[in-house]
Amino acid sequence: MGNHHDDLARLASFFGGEEALNIVKALANAGTTTDDVIATQANVRLNTARKVLYKLYDHALVTCIRSRDEKTGWFIYHWKLQPDQLDAFVRSRKKKALEQMRTKLEFEKGHSFFVCKGCPGIRVTFEDAMESAFRCSGCNGQLVSDDNSRTIQMLEDHSRKLESELSEGPIAFADGRF
Ligand SMILES: [Zn+2]
């Protein structure tokens, strides 16, 4: 359940922060509804609601049905969350993040690194440091060995967390369990 909230929060930050999160929640609670209602329930401006809805629509995370108001003749758009798509979307983003993390982890484990104390951006592998005779390409200062055990630990922790999240069941977006 905690993870579900994390998923939603992460998803929302991808689509526009707190307001997007409120919009997804409003949609999940409402079932099918109009952008007016969503804006009111999420307590955001109509334009904001529409912007987020279009983004979600672009990723096929919501569906939209158009009808015509018989009195005004204007179109009304009815929006509905696609929980399965949403779940698949979150999963695929997590899988991608996990792959990137594993690649980075392999690289960190397989190399020794050297840094320059004076240049925060300089970090090279042992091989590259050898080539420059352990001189910094930025300031020509001495490169020193960098202990990456904490980086490795952090990457391993994050990978494990993602792995366990991916092994869980689908996210329950539509049953009000936020
Ligand atoms: Zn330097």
pLDDT digits (tens, 9 = 90+) for 139-173: 999 999 999 999 999 999 999 999 998 888 766 55
130 CA to middle of ligand 1, Å?
15
117 CA to middle of ligand 1, Å?
7
142 CA to middle of ligand 1, Å?
7
pLDDT in tens, 11-51: 777 777 888 888 988 988 888 999 999 999 999 999 999 99
18 CA to middle of ligand 1, Å?
41
116 CA to middle of ligand 1, Å?
5
Name, in order, each residue with C-beta under 8 angstroms of 12's C-beta and a sequence gap of 6 or more: 18, 20, 21, 24
* This prediction's pTM: 0.68
